[in-house]
A = this chain, B = another copy of it.
Amino acid sequence: MNLLASSKSEHLYLQIAETFQKQILDEVLKIGDKLPSVRSLSKQHGISVSTILQAYYHLEAKGLVEPRPQSGYYVSFNPSRFPRKIEKSNPIPVVRTKNVEAIIGEVYDDLAMEGIMKFSINVPAPELLPLGALNKAMMHAMRTLPANGTSYEKIQGNDLLRRQVAQWSMTWGGQLHADDIITTAGCMNAISYCLMALTRPGDTIAIESPVYFGMLRFAKSIGLNVLELPTHPDTGVDPDDVKKALDKHDIKACFFVTNFSNPTGYCMPDEQKEAMVKLLSKYGVPLIEDDLYGDVYLGNRRPRSCKSFDEEGNVLWCSSISKTLAPGYRVGWVAPGKYIEQVKNLKLYHSITSATAQQAAIGNFLATGRYEHHLRKLRQTLHANSLHFTRAIGEYFPEEIKLSTPKGGFILWLELARHIDTYQLYQEAMQCKMSIAPGTMFTLQDRYQNCMRLSYGMQWTPEVDRGLKKLGTLVKQMM
């Protein structure tokens, strides 16, 4: 056995851990198998005991192995072993307008209750955020901004932030300039301006399905018709399906969360992104790309965005730090391509400018490398969490369930047996002080009633483990 065969990591202990992880995923090592003893491995490969222990701790932290007293380490879980995969969604190709308002309102209002375990929430928990460093960045911003941040800023937004977002675009294959970017009060705010710039009431837009419910609500509130497209849980919307829709419907804009989508967690492959951009350019239909989870990849690299393939300014690329740093700061941005003037005007009309201090603070956070530092830590935590959650769900939930396998973000999408109503499950879970997001929130059609979204963007604790166990029991009782 070559311990370092398939590894790309810099640290020796990580190289060892990755080698074992691969064997577990490939089922060379199966659940229940014993790992080599620390001492024998150390002798065999001439590696220190402490390095090997560090590798085993790492695997343990990821939920893949477990120590047993007086015995050694055993494989405890194989995340690739969920037997059933979620299939590509299959919404009917007509426009529907179910009212999801009441149920969304209920789920949101319940979040304000004390002592709720918030599996339904879609932002990282405060304990995963660098609060102290953010405070410092805010104080620095107020000290250095003209008039301490009390004045209106440029309509387009804070210069430092826009420069930093432009620089950061290299990480996803972009070549943005500060002038290409408009800051907004969060990502949904950016999307709202884009949609208003591109459509008129009565127009039709095409989106992935299931989709972030905020998008559905907003589209309805400005009188749009929504065509939901078949969506693969790993790769998202297929350009062929988009082409069919474009040939049949008069579609004014498309909307996709291309990287680690909410709720299915799919990540559109690079070649598919490129094909999508080409197709939409050919049809002259703009794409609103929501890339707010892209920085929270769990693999080795930041996935590209559709925007990085956009040569005609046809992609309106939206993002924010609400999923990585501070949802309450309301800092987001958009690179609206050739629609920049329309989007800028809408920002001016609706709110004049954004809150100045938070933008400057985030600009500073990016400029000083603190964002990158924080992301490394956050991604590690979330990766470990995704394994913990997958293990727990595999252990506690009925065998028949299907589970998404996101390569980024902090959301799992579960499909339960067909007859199970997750809104009923939600109500029962709330009795046990846990909230989940029922699947019916993520469509305007009569679908996903047996699905639900769970967030793992929190500190993994025995309480969370117990919560998932309880949730699994509730599901089993409903079978």
Q: Is A112 an interface residue (CB 8 A)?
A: yes
Assess the B138–A214 pair: CB atoms within 8 A.
Answer: no
Least CB separation from A218: chain B residue: B349
Instruction: Flag A313-333 by CB within 8 Å of B: 1 or 0 each.
Output: 000000000000111111000
Assess the B134–A349 pair: CB atoms within 8 A.
Answer: no
Assess the B345–A149 pair: CB atoms within 8 A.
Answer: no
* Residue from the list B139, B186, B354 in contact with A139, Cβ < 8 A: B139
Assess the A327–B129 pair: CB atoms within 8 A.
Answer: no
Q: Is A167 an interface residue (CB 8 A)?
A: no
Least CB separation from A123: chain B residue: B152
With the chains together, A349 CA to B326 CA distance in Å? 19
Q: Is A427 an interface residue (CB 8 A)?
A: no
* Residue from the list B126, B155, B349, B351 in contact with A108, Cβ < 8 A: B155
With the chains together, A330 CA to B153 CA distance in Å? 11
Chain B nearest Cβ from A107, distance in angstroms: 13
Chain B nearest Cβ from A110, distance in angstroms: 13
Assess the A351–B135 pair: CB atoms within 8 A.
Answer: no
**Interface 9-mer from A297-305, A355-363, A463-471:** A355-363
Q: A147-B126, A326-B150 are in contact. Are A355 and B352 (CB under 8 A)?
A: no
Q: Is A188 an interface residue (CB 8 A)?
A: yes
Q: A148-B134, A345-B221 are in contact. Are A354 and B330 (CB under 8 A)?
A: yes
* Residue from the list B201, B326, B350, B353 in contact with A200, Cβ < 8 A: B201
Least CB separation from A151: chain B residue: B328
Assess the A330–B349 pair: CB atoms within 8 A.
Answer: no
Interface size class of A (residues with CB under 8 A): 35 or more
Chain B nearest Cβ from A472, distance in angstroms: 28
Least CB separation from A126: chain B residue: B147
Q: Is A376 an interface residue (CB 8 A)?
A: no
Assess the A357–B357 pair: CB atoms within 8 A.
Answer: yes
With the chains together, A108 CA to B354 CA distance in Å? 16
Q: A147-B126, A154-B112, A188-B350 are in contact. Are A328 and B345 (CB under 8 A)?
A: no
Assess the A189–B142 pair: CB atoms within 8 A.
Answer: no
Q: A185-B355, A189-B350 are in contact. Are A147 and B123 (CB under 8 A)?
A: no
Q: How many copies does the complex hold?
A: 2
What residues of chain B lie closer than 8 Å to A351, measured between beta carbons? 185-186, 188-189, 192, 330
What residues of chain B lie closer than 8 Å to A348, measured between beta carbons? 217
What residues of chain B lie closer than 8 Å to A327, measured between beta carbons? 150-152, 352
What residues of chain B lie closer than 8 Å to A126, measured between beta carbons? 146-147, 150-151
What residues of chain B lie closer than 8 Å to A355, measured between beta carbons? 185, 328-330, 354-355, 358
Q: Is A49 an interface residue (CB 8 A)?
A: no
Q: A142-B135, A148-B135 are in contact. Are A350 and B350 (CB under 8 A)?
A: yes
Q: A112-B154, A150-B327 are in contact. Are A188 and B352 (CB under 8 A)?
A: yes
Q: Is A131 an interface residue (CB 8 A)?
A: yes
What residues of chain B lie closer than 8 Å to A328, measured between beta carbons? 147, 149-153, 353, 355-357
**Which residues of A in the span 148-206 have a Cβ within 8 Å of any Cβ on B?**
148-155, 185-186, 188-189, 192, 196, 200-201
* Residue from the list B135, B186, B214, B346 in contact with A221, Cβ < 8 A: B346
With the chains together, A218 CA to B345 CA distance in Å? 9
With the chains together, A152 CA to B320 CA distance in Å? 14
Interface centre among A201, A328, A358 (most CB of B within 10 A): A328
Assess the B138–A142 pair: CB atoms within 8 A.
Answer: yes
What residues of chain B lie closer than 8 Å to A196, measured between beta carbons? 221
Chain B nearest Cβ from A147, distance in angstroms: 4
State the 5 A-B residue pairs at the shortest beta-carbon distance, nearest first: A126-B147, A150-B326, A355-B355, A328-B356, A189-B351
Further pairs besides A123-B152, A201-B201: 10, Cβ < 8 Å: A126-B146, A131-B147, A135-B142, A138-B357, A139-B142, A149-B326, A186-B352, A188-B351, A201-B223, A357-B358
**Which A residues have a C-beta under 8 Å from some C-beta of B?**
101, 108, 112, 123, 126, 129, 131, 134-135, 138-139, 142, 146-155, 185-186, 188-189, 192, 196, 200-201, 214, 217-218, 221, 223, 325-330, 345-346, 348-358
